[in-house]
Structure 1
Amino acid sequence: MLPKALLTTLILSTATGCQSGGPRMAGLNPFYRPELTSITTPAERVKELRALAEGAPSMDTGASEKMVVDLVRQLGSEPNPMIRQAIIETTTQFKTPLAAKTPIAGLQDEDSHVRQACCRMLAERPTPAGAAALAAVAKQDADFDVRIAAVQALGEQKDPIAQQALLAALEDSDPAMQLVGVQSMRRVSGKDLGGNVADYIALARKQSAPTTAAGSGEPAIEVAERTFGWLPK
């Protein structure tokens, strides 16, 4: 059992905080003096990485390459997804071949939020390799929100593979996925065909856009238009 005096001191410290528990707590708290702790919180680490990213443009080629290699090594052993995302975001600020590959590799991260963030990074920096990676994610990722993010990012790609990759999104049975597919197809193709999903499917297949369902004489089903009356033009 703890001495009554010590219990009283501990109870009082909960009201004032261990760091400011007064002179008597100095001998009980190993972190009473800031210089005795070397713990870096995730928030502090993210702040450090953002500061590093801001300084990236001023680094020469050699220093940039060395820094990116160091960051990628950290990425492989970092357990915190928030920090992994910050590391990847930081590497994208460096103009090196390895830096360009990092967000593509991040699409395989175990955390879905990191994968979504990598989709957004690739949207900001379109490349043929990025388009191919996003196409695979849009089709295969197990997380719906990640697939949505990939389809949105495909809308910013200038590679022909993007238009072909959007076909899977347009043919998806989920109206939300169809909607995002239509929006991305408009950006990729530069064509606004209205809200008829079938027209965009035909465009993705490089066929003539149909106006009626085959053999029925009836207008093609406009799933996205019917479900989302606010479909942006």
Structure 2
Amino acid sequence: MSTFLLKEYRSLHAVFQRVFYTMSLCLFQSRPMAVQKNTRVALLAGCVLSCFLGGCASSLPWIDSQQAAIEKEKYGLNADQRIKELRQQAKKSRGGDSEDQAEFSRELVNEMLAEHDPRVRAEILHLCADFDNPSSRAICIGGLDDPETLVRIAACDAWLQIGGDEAVQYLANRFRSDEDVDVRLHAIRDLGALGNEAAIPVLAEALEAPDPAVQFRAVASLKEVSGRDLGNDVNTWREWAADPAEYRQEWSVAEVWRQIF
């Protein structure tokens, strides 16, 4: 009904414009000069009023809200609106008990499967990292194989947030299997940010990559994991990664001598 009224309003407004212009033109051509002057003033005022009504009608609050409601009913929420709604639901769920969180996570599984916008899927992964239950973990695992680069990167970040040896495993697999260099670089970066020594073997593999960008990122991540700065020479880090325990012993002896002398 509201759509019909809106269309009728605009139709009547167009008719009003045509009639007004026609009548004004006839009066202007048929009356004396003094009357023509007054008619010109009236015509100008009418034009201003007509333009105001035509231009402002679409920005009136009640019309805007009606149009938004019509579009929502017809097309559903847009991506930004869906992200906002998901964040609100996640915030509410965090305040509930474990069963509430599990139910919300199960709903997110359906959302993830049905969602066509990669930005929304990336947001779902970000939210899932906060919930420790099978449904959320399943989403984080599946997100690593998403067809969109943006979503796979978001999945890497989700595992960084989750942490632990399991995160090292999934990030290592993503580095080894992904064909997109941006995803591979992101996986290496997140492995370093984990600060878990279990990541050293895969970072050592990254040192052997033919891409200098991958090597450089691996060096930076090894610095984070080891807590040391052996410079940026790849060969030095290869030696260190081959036997971190030996380097640890040599470092300790050198540190003792430094303190003595």
In 2: Cα distance, 1:155 partner to 1:184 partner? 4
Count of paired positions: 197
2:100 corresponds to: 63
- Per-residue displacement from partner, 1:144-175 (whole Å, max 9, x unpaired)? 00000000011133544311011222112222
Q: Which runs of 5+ in 1 are unaligned?
A: 210-233
Asked whether the equivalents of residues 192 and 199 of structure 2 are also in contact (C-alpha less than 8 Å), the reply is yes
For the pair 1:186 / 2:223, whether they are aligned, the reply is: yes
Aligned partners of 1:124 and 1:156 also within 8 Å = no
SS at match of 1:142: coil
1:42 Cα deviation after fit: 0.7
Shift of 1:50: 1.7
Matched, 1:123 2:160: yes
Deviation at 1:87, TM superposition (A): 1.4
State whether structure 2 residue 87 is matched by structure 1 residue 53: no
Is the alpha carbon distance of 1:16 and 1:109 closer, same or farther for their aligned partners in structure 2, counting shifts above 3 Å?
farther
- What's 1:111 paired with? 148
Tell me which residue corresponds to 2:181.
Answer: 144
Q: Give the C-alpha shift of residue 107 in structure 1.
A: 0.9
- The TM-score normalised by the length of structure 1 is 0.72
Determine if the alignment matches structure 1 residue 98 to structure 2 residue 132: no
* Pick aligned residue for 1:202 from 234, 239, 245: 239
What aligned pairs does 1:153-168 form with structure 2 within 5 A after superposition?
153-168=190-205
Structure 1 pair 85–18 and aligned structure 2 pair: CA distance change class (3 A): farther
Q: Secondary structure at the match of 1:54?
A: helix
Q: 1:36 aligns with which of 63, 70, 76?
A: 70
Residue 227 of structure 1: aligned partner: none
8 Å Cα contact 1:155-1:187 kept in structure 2:
yes
1:57 CA drift (Å): 2.5
Instruction: Sort the Cα spacing of 1:117 and 1:34 in 2 relative to 1 into closer, same or farther, 3 A.
Output: closer
Report if the CA contact (8 A) 2:125-2:154 is conserved. Answer: no
Which residue is equivalent to 2:211?
174
* 1:218 aligned residue: none
Q: Greater helix share, 1 or 2?
A: 2
Q: CA deviation at 1:189?
A: 1.9
Whole-Å separation in 2 of the counterparts to 1:114 and 1:18: 41
Pair 1:32–1:131, CA change in 2 (3 A): same
Counterpart residue number, 1:223: none
1:18/1:32 contact within 8 Å kept: no
Tell whether the 8 Å contact from 2:128 to 2:158 is kept in structure 1 after alignment.
no
Counterpart AA for 1:148: L
Decide whether aligned partners of structure 1 residues 187 and 18 sit closer, same or farther in structure 2, where only a CA change above 3 A counts.
farther
When the two structures are superposed, what TM-score results if normalisation uses the length of structure 2?
A: 0.65
Q: Partner letter of residue 215 of structure 2?
A: Q
Q: Distance in 2 between matches of 1:18 and 1:150?
A: 52
Distance 1:33 1:195, change over 3 A: closer
Aligned-residue sequence identity (percent) comes to 28
Please say which structure displays the higher CA radius of gyration. Answer: 2
Larger RCO (CA under 8 A, 6+ residues apart): 1
Distance in 1 (alpha carbons) for counterparts of 2:57 and 2:186? 44
